[in-house]
A = this chain, B = another copy of it.
Amino acid sequence: MEDVLAPDGRGLKHVAVREYVRSLVTGSAPGSPAPSERELVHQFGVARMTVRQAMDALVVEGLLERIPGRGTFVARPRRAASRITGYTEEMSRRGLLAESQTLLARREQAGPGVARALSLTEGDAVIHWRRLRRADGTPMCLEDAYLNEVLLPGFLQSGMPTSLYDALDGRGLRPTWAEDSITADRATPEEATLLEVDEGASVLRHSRRALAGDKVVEVSRTVYRADRFTLWVQLGHDV
């Protein structure tokens, strides 16, 4: 039989099968059976290899699980390391209202440390954004973020967003990789005043270098009130 291709003219029958199966099984309980390969062959009038290509994708995705001799079934959802989140999303996840007060937002020349972290040259233009961040009205942390101005043209002029990560997302720069370091320390006098704690109170210092693909999009240093904040991290993944 010649290759007439699908009615839509694009040779993507396996996509049609894949999305059909996906629509069938999303929402099904793990262990529910998916249609058998030969059943789909008859339904779609395609070759079995085409159906297998469709199912393979769903298996790789972790949606389906094949059991030889028995059939194909909805898989137990895989665990995966949590996506990289910023303060706003993290507080929202905890059921707290995130508010931020910008203390400083300006163009600066990168110092040696920031330049290295942002993969820039010393003296390059960076955006320095300092915020006092609250949760349900109480100071939670003080954050100094440094951004590569080249990646964010007009960022300072366009009015600062509430969520940096949402703003990055909108520019296709959502971080997919982050290198964090965390240590315990005591609040400096300035930090204590802003965070409304006693001088020398316990704080958690959190540094992040966040990348979107190859591009370093954010370097930040945040100091959290230890009496109000515990950092949660999930590590690893299934299979």
Contact = CB atoms under 8 A, between A and B. Distances in A.
Interface of A: 49, 56, 60, 79-84, 175-186, 202-204, 213, 224, 226, 229-238
Contacts of A176: 236-238
B56 A178 contact: no
A65 to B, nearest CB: 14
Nearest to A80: B237
Contacts of A177: 79, 234-238
A60 B53 CA distance: 13
A114 B216 CA distance: 40
A81 B180 contact: no
A37 to B, nearest CB: 15
B183 A235 contact: no
A180 B233 contact: yes
Contact of A49 (B49, B56, B181, B238): B49
A235 B204 contact: no
A198 to B, nearest CB: 12
